[in-house]
Structure 1
């Protein structure tokens, strides 16, 4: 990590009163998948002492196919949890669950559609391919938006089983994926770089990698929420623009199957496509949210029939913690911008 950020972390620690391990408040954060670069900012804030500098001892609880961290949040066993995008807090409000998103560490949903090189000339032309390999969750969410806004045909959807072989075998098909993952796998298995179509760049305007907490935590422990949100934002700035070596080591400790090639690829794609730092975050800082962006996405989901009209969607998030610009000076020190 560069010297200016060490100095900043030291200043924060001194301001916090040089907290010892006994002084720190234990906090748990459940991710939505196994440890990966897409969680790198949180691991960075653990290893470089950013959370500790404002008084938190954060334990990251990795998710996975057999782990339901959201259920642990509802049961009070975890303090914060990672939600994929705005649909999850919207659905929680519809079900009367008292929680809120307190930060959005991905300004863009990293969901993409992939095609064989040169086979599709434009995003709109994707609807003309023979098959679109889309998972059940994708079909019930972003695919409904594609039907409504772009005229995609539901009959062309083929269930995606997270195996790229059918896509690799059919040059006139498209497959869903994450910008940080599936293109890498296709390059390795198929021997070619697929064309990438980022849904966020075509109007799928949700935030992603949301940090969610129960209303009780927000109301009773606002200083803990503030520390976690701001510490995470600083962690992301350091991870993307500084030295992520120690964070990557902890990611691999939590997930020994994660290769450094995959981590490097994921970091590069998050930076290239502005997944973490673009849009609202450029002015308000990493983790930012705005009423206008949330309303835009809500309106699109109502139009697509994904979310019920009349929902009090504003109850699904709070702007009290996300827009303080905590990461802006860290980014400036590392990038000169």
Structure 2
């Protein structure tokens, strides 16, 4: 079966709806896409591309395999149990090169990593003052990654940290505490539970310039079936445009079905924050389209991680990604003018 690129088949959501019908009657190439957490608005563009037939329009039948605390979809990618994986940020991709794992990043749906620090209003109200907190609540993974960058680049101290167990109670009990979080998650939980809006500091706005919510695949799939990779990437790009700026009701229904603990209120909050902070559509995407990546951004972040002690300077970080499937302005006309 010959796959067609989304860009060739359609330039607008209305066209995709018309195309999806006849193509669905053909034999579609089945692929599995594993996410790194349970279904939520942060996965919305992928669900949108399933719901509105965007993937089917170029010949793919995509099954989304949700992640979660009991799942490790990342491990399923190299062994062929899934075809694509939603990566967290480029630290994982650089680590894959270091460990000689044959995976590669082919697109970045988030231009900014949603990682945040938050504080109580009236205590530490500037980013620079956060390092003075006597109780910076950081998880083990965060301590080994972004917090090392905070130490080197912003003068934070590991001595001030306390373990974050993903329970907000210690933060709420101590008005001088600072806590790590995810832009679309922890602030919402604090507002719901404690009735106040915390100060939110997006690390991406202070130099933590990794891409996030990447699309990873196996190198052998890129070599053997580049049309499949292109279809999935371009379908995901259009999915994100339509999710953010179009009718996302059907996608949200799929998210709620895959994650019964999710609520529409939480989804709407998350979408609002994704737009407000330019998580998906900002910077290079304004010219190159959603999913954009550049060598300059990759080098900048890699150098920061080298300075933070995460990687050796001679690691061939450019092997972690390729630009062949992005930066083609696919779907850019769907952004509201």
Q: Same fold (TM over 0.5)?
A: yes
Equivalence map 1:62-81=2 (5 Å): 62-81=66-85
SS at match of 2:23: coil
Equivalence map 1:227-306=2 (5 Å): 227-306=231-310
- Distance, in Å, in 1 between the alignment partners of 2:316 and 2:245 is 37
TM-score, normalised to structure 2's length?
0.95
- Distance, in Å, in 2 between the alignment partners of 1:6 and 1:121 is 43
1:166-212 residue CA offsets vs partner (Å, 9 max, x unmatched) = 00111111000000000000011111000000000000000000100
2:137 matches 1:133: yes
Which ranges in structure 1 are unaligned for 5 or more consecutive residues?
none
Structure 2 equivalent of residue 194 of structure 1: 198
- Distance, in Å, in 1 between the alignment partners of 2:319 and 2:228 is 20
Deviation at 1:118, TM superposition (A): 2.4
SS at match of 1:175: strand
Equivalence map 1:87-102=2 (5 Å): 87-102=91-106
2:178 matches 1:174: yes
Equivalence map 1:53-64=2 (5 Å): 53-64=57-68
SS at match of 2:117: strand
1:131-178 residue CA offsets vs partner (Å, 9 max, x unmatched) = 100001110000000000011010001010000010011111100000
Deviation at 1:130, TM superposition (A): 1.2
- Distance, in Å, in 2 between the alignment partners of 1:63 and 1:295 is 29
SS at match of 1:212: strand
Deviation at 1:22, TM superposition (A): 4.0
Choose which of 16, 35, 42 in structure 2 pairs with 1:9.
16
Structure 2 equivalent of residue 31 of structure 1: 35
Choose which of 310, 320, 323 in structure 2 pairs with 1:319.
323
- Distance, in Å, in 2 between the alignment partners of 1:198 and 1:6 is 32
1:10-48 residue CA offsets vs partner (Å, 9 max, x unmatched) = 46559xxx3234421101100000000000000000000
Which ranges in structure 2 are unaligned for 5 or more consecutive residues?
1-10
Count of residues paired in the alignment = 327
Equivalence map 1:145-164=2 (5 Å): 145-164=149-168
Deviation at 1:69, TM superposition (A): 0.7
- Distance, in Å, in 2 between the alignment partners of 1:6 and 1:291 is 30
Deviation at 1:92, TM superposition (A): 0.3
Choose which of 68, 85, 90 in structure 2 pairs with 1:86.
90
SS at match of 1:23: coil
Structure 2 equivalent of residue 41 of structure 1: 45
Choose which of 197, 209, 213 in structure 1 pairs with 2:213.
209
- Distance, in Å, in 2 between the alignment partners of 1:20 and 1:207 is 33
Query: After TM superposition, what 4+ stretches of structure 1 lie above 3 angstroms from structure 2?
Result: 10-14
- Distance, in Å, in 1 between the alignment partners of 2:12 and 2:247 is 10
